[in-house]
Amino acid sequence: MSDDARNRLLAWCRPGFEPECAQELLDLDAASGGGGFPRAARGEGFVEFVARDAEAAESLAHNAGARGPIFARQLLHGIGQVGDLPREDRLARLLPVIQSDPRRWCDAWVESADGEGGRELRTLCRALNAALIARLKREQSIDRDSPWRLHVALLAPTRALVAATHVERSAPWPGGIPRLRFPRGAPSRSTLKLEEAFLVLLDADERAAWLQPGMSAVDLGAAPGGWTWQLAHRSIRVTAVDNGPMDSALMQGGLVDHRRADGFRYRPDAPVDWLVCDMVEQPRRVTARIAEWLRHGWCRRTIFNLKLPMKKRYEEVRLCLEQLRETAGATLDLRARQLYHDREEITVFARHA
């Protein structure tokens, strides 16, 4: 196996979840023939994966697609690597590597990890990004219709991986992180998790078709109403199920019906368009509850969170998703991701395919 950068993938991930991201990449690689291995250190916010060759790396990047892997926010395919970036003129050292690739680019992003070390590089990233874009424009290497995006991943002040993504198979935000503002009037910051889930797990056509005014939803474990707010804000009627109190301002809008009930026992009077759930409970118990709703046809589609244990988190995710497929009663369209606004959890979308 050569050490060619084209054999390499770089996955941005949540700091602390590098082992889960690495294991998932190993499993994906094994499914297409194997031979690769990860390199990761806890807390850095990224995983490097060395495939057996460039073709295997490209295949892995292609098969992962825009909605996966679960623990990777973005998956970059290497073009070249630079390990001796001079502090006085980094761009001059990077340009020969970039120019060695004949592609034109729709855009170029200089990025760093979400970990502590990466955050220290953000000012440098912004300055270098502006200089890189200016240079690429002078060289007529920017083509807004190109399907390819150029990435420069700064892994340290003097070390970078030059990489590429296909825009249809990658997240449309630097680092794979949508920068969302906390909406005025939302009762809790958990609202950002559902907003991000709509952006990451659904495409634009799905959002337009599945989040229409007048639709119906149930929010299990709703109080104080962060997820309910996202639905009501889209003029979707929500049954908010929780024994706890809901936000008073949210209840004044006329779109929310608060049912004081146990989320694990409540049944809807009629099928609803959406079931959402962010209950703090064991992931297998939540999975079983969601599977019951899907099996009985009580909801058409669902988004829910699984709170992960401190150990064997990847194994727990696999077990829960397998449990859902086996017990939901039909073939599922199943998508899952650890979102930027998630903590020790993942977010899952499911519907009958």
Mean pLDDT value across the chain: 95
Rg (CA), the chain: 22
Q: Which domains does the chain have, with CATH numbers?
A: 5-176 (3.30.2130.30), 191-352 (3.40.50.150)
- Give the mean pLDDT of 217-227: 98
Half-sphere exposure (Cβ direction) of 346: Cα atoms closer than 13 Å: 31
With 50 as the cut, is the pLDDT of residue 165 above it? yes
The whole-number average pLDDT for the span 132-159 is: 96
pLDDT of 2 higher than 60: no
pLDDT at 34: 87
Q: What is the mean pLDDT of residues 177-196?
A: 96
Lowest-pLDDT choice from 53-67, 243-257, 262-276: 53-67
For the cut 70, the answer to whether the pLDDT of residue 1 exceeds it is no
State residue 353's pLDDT score.
87
What confidence score (pLDDT) does residue 329 get?
86
Read off the amino acid at residue 182. Answer: F
Confidence (pLDDT) at 66: 58
List active site positions. 307
More confident residue, 62 or 243: 243
**pLDDT of 20 strictly over 80:** yes
Supply the pLDDT for residue 67: 64
Is residue 87's pLDDT more than 90? no
What pLDDT, on a 0 to 100 scale, did the predictor assign at position 166?
94
Percent of the chain with pLDDT over 90: 90
Measured distance CA(234)–CA(132) in Å, rounded: 39
Reported pTM = 0.94
Sign of the CA dihedral 187, 263, 316, 304?
A: negative
Average pLDDT in the 176-191 region?
Answer: 95
User: What percent of the chain stands above pLDDT 70?
Assistant: 98
Q: Is 133 helix (H, G, I), strand (E, B) or coil?
A: helix
Q: How many whole angstroms separate alpha carbon 167 and alpha carbon 216?
A: 33
Return the residue matching tokens 């998790």.
193
Q: Has residue 3 got a pLDDT over 70?
A: no
What average pLDDT does this structure show over 298-309? 98
One-letter-per-residue 3-state SS of 203-232 = CHHHHHHHCCCCCEEEEECCCCCHHHHHHH
pLDDT at 26 over 90: yes
Residue 224, number of CB atoms within 10 A of its CB: 18
**Banded model confidence at residue 128, pLDDT cuts 50, 70, 90:** very high
Question: Taking residues 252-260, what's their average pLDDT?
Answer: 96
